[in-house]
Chain A
Amino acid sequence: MTIANRRDFLRLLGSASLVAWGIAPRRASAAAKAKVIVIGGGYGGAIAARYLKMGEPEMEVTLIERNKRYVSCPMSNEVVGGEASMDFLTFGYDKLERQGIKVIFDTVEAIDPQARTVRIKSGKTLNYDSCVLSPGVDFEWGDIEGYDEAAAQIMPHAWKAGPQTVLLAKQIQDMKDGGTFIICAPDDPFRCPPGPYERASLVAHYFKRHKPKSKIIILDNKTKFSKEGLFKQGWKQHYEGIITWHGGDAVKRVEPKTRKVFTEAQTYQGDVVNVIPNQLAGKIAHLAGVVDKSTGWCPVDFATFESRLQKNIYVIGDATESPMPKSGYSANSQAKICVSAILARLRNEPLTEPALTNTCYSLITPDHGISVAHIFELKNGKLSLVPGSGGVSPMDATPEFRRLESIYAHSWYKNITTEMFG
């Protein structure tokens, strides 16, 4: 094969590029007539809906989401720490609608995998050829004695962003100087593994400036945590004597009225208490029969993210059982795999080998960022890290390096939310 000039080369690539999904539709096909329903318009679902519509503009793509406005968990610790407002976290679905995605604001109450139907709260039943489920997490109420939905109004979890975030931020602002803020961290696996420790950091940053006599205690059943070395180094540098972490001691009971927390070993008195309960796949996943009851999460085929328990239902995001961290970036990456698989199947084309990644930034101060990256490969049905790749920021980095990572954290947020909401 000889390539005479650049134009020939471009033509060679062009014939392929025009048909590659994500750029332009392939051809009128079964895919154009298919109906896909996406449940949940968060980090996974919004991307799935958008990429389905980009890949096959004629296809009927319906997104069903409970809330008219999405409130992002990423960056919500900045709101808790008083660095940002709720506006910064809040997005609407109008651009998705303008792209031709049918958005229904309602709650899905049932999925029938045999009949391939979805029932929503208003009473309607909708048909699908493929269904994408990205419902996020729900909580294991009852794991901690005394902690239920009513208790969360006094000891907020703020692990689903929205009114809970506002409540926790207000409690921290109202707290007296010299008070104690207790964070009860959940057991693995949970959404955003570095999240509790980032939250401690940004609240410590607020205390240091506004309530310098105050303390933060993290109560944790785990004996190690995400980016631990980097967090501990950052705490030593910025928050010596403010943050203490108690690992390997499980929280057993809370008393919301007195704001007391009881672990196996001790009783702690808090002024503000943030209980982040243990987690499992969102409720609708359980109702759809896609949850492995022994784990509480949804097993999937990693080549497609189709449920291993129900055909034609694809599960992505936090709800999945996977070695990927439960992050917005993972949900985003998984959404693209399931879209690619749904389109390939409808078009009777071979699957493309999946590429899955995660990048996650955490802030220790507004100018001190750290990160972790993961690149996965699929081998014999199992996802594993590409050897030698990814990992966390170096321990010995300069302040300038840390500053750059805090800047990139914000550009990351801008890009990933623009990709979702236009």
Chain B
Amino acid sequence: MTHSMVKSLLLAVSLTLSATASADLGSMLGNTCAGCHGLNGASAGETMPIISGLPRDFIFMAMKEYREGTRGSTIMGRIAKGYNDQQIAAMADFFARQKRTPATQKFDLAALKRGEKLHIKRCEACHRDNGTSMALDMQPLAGQWAGYLNIYMGTCRDPKWKSRHPDAMTVICSDLDAEDVAALAQFYASQK
């Protein structure tokens, strides 16, 4: 078990009264997200990320960063400010427990090839196993909506986007052109 997992377990346990109360709170809070992120986080909208089955710590940290304004967003910053750590932990538990549901989408073969090459050259070191890996609480990219991945990488390339993306992402994305980004997005979206 990783150090961060131990930390988050302790947090989860100390912040909740009982497992049942936590689960009820988690589904109560998690259900409010469905209007935008889909039933149980299985987004049907191609630019809204699927959040079912993401690593618990990833969701927990992302929500905290949104709340503190260190992660760029259009609306999530305003929303995350409505929740305390305990509530965010309960939501993270809820979505981490949901079955991961890959999106059904269409691909362009040429883009997939180009994406795979770029992946091997630039991204594989962190986003291992074709982006399926959740090691180090990494957000898995496989099966995610290409529309969302495209936007996310686009914001990494935009110097005006006030955010503290992991620095590596900013550096790695900065010299990719729009076609590269779209190809990578398609590649990860096509992986299961």
| Cβ–Cβ contact B22 & A357, under 8 A | no
Q: B75 near A: Cβ within 8 Å? A: yes
| Cβ–Cβ contact A415 & B43, under 8 A | yes
Encode A17-30 as 1/0 by CB contact (under 8 A) with B.
10111110000000
In the bound complex, CA of A23 to CA of B97 (Å)? 10
Q: Nearest chain-B residue to A54 (Cβ)?
A: B39
Q: A53 near B: Cβ within 8 Å? A: no
In the bound complex, CA of A317 to CA of B38 (Å)? 19
| Cβ–Cβ contact B74 & A371, under 8 A | yes
Count B-side interface residues using an 8 Å CB cutoff.
47
Q: Nearest chain-B residue to A392 (Cβ)?
A: B78
Q: A329 near B: Cβ within 8 Å? A: yes
Tell me the minimal C-beta distance from B101 to chain A in angstroms.
12
Known: A22-B31, A356-B32, A357-B32. Contact between A13 and B79, CB under 8 A? Answer: no
In the bound complex, CA of A393 to CA of B77 (Å)? 10
Q: Of B18, B28, B34, B46, which is within 8 A of A411 by CB?
A: B46
For A134, list chain B residues within 8 Å (CB).
Answer: none
| Cβ–Cβ contact B81 & A371, under 8 A | no
Query: Which residues of B7-42 have CB atoms within 8 Å of chain A's CB atoms?
Result: 9, 13, 18-32, 34-40
| Cβ–Cβ contact A390 & B81, under 8 A | yes
Q: Of B5, B82, B93, which is within 8 A of A6 by CB?
A: B5
Q: B62 near A: Cβ within 8 Å? A: no
Q: Nearest chain-A residue to B18 (Cβ)?
A: A16
Q: Nearest chain-B residue to A336 (Cβ)?
A: B31
Q: B47 near A: Cβ within 8 Å? A: yes
Q: B44 near A: Cβ within 8 Å? A: yes
Tell me the minimal C-beta distance from B156 to chain A in angstroms.
13
Q: Of B19, B21, B32, B44, which is within 8 A of A13 by CB?
A: B19
In the bound complex, CA of A332 to CA of B34 (Å)? 9
The 13 listed contacts between A and B (C-beta, < 8 Å) are A12-B19, A19-B23, A21-B27, A22-B40, A23-B27, A354-B28, A357-B82, A373-B79, A375-B83, A411-B43, A415-B36, A415-B45, A415-B48
Q: B-side interface residues toward A, CB under 8 Å?
A: 1, 5, 9, 13, 18-32, 34-40, 43-48, 74-75, 78-79, 81-83, 87, 93, 97, 147, 151, 158, 160-161
The 8 closest A-B pairs by CB, nearest first: A411-B45, A375-B82, A389-B82, A16-B23, A16-B19, A414-B45, A411-B48, A418-B44
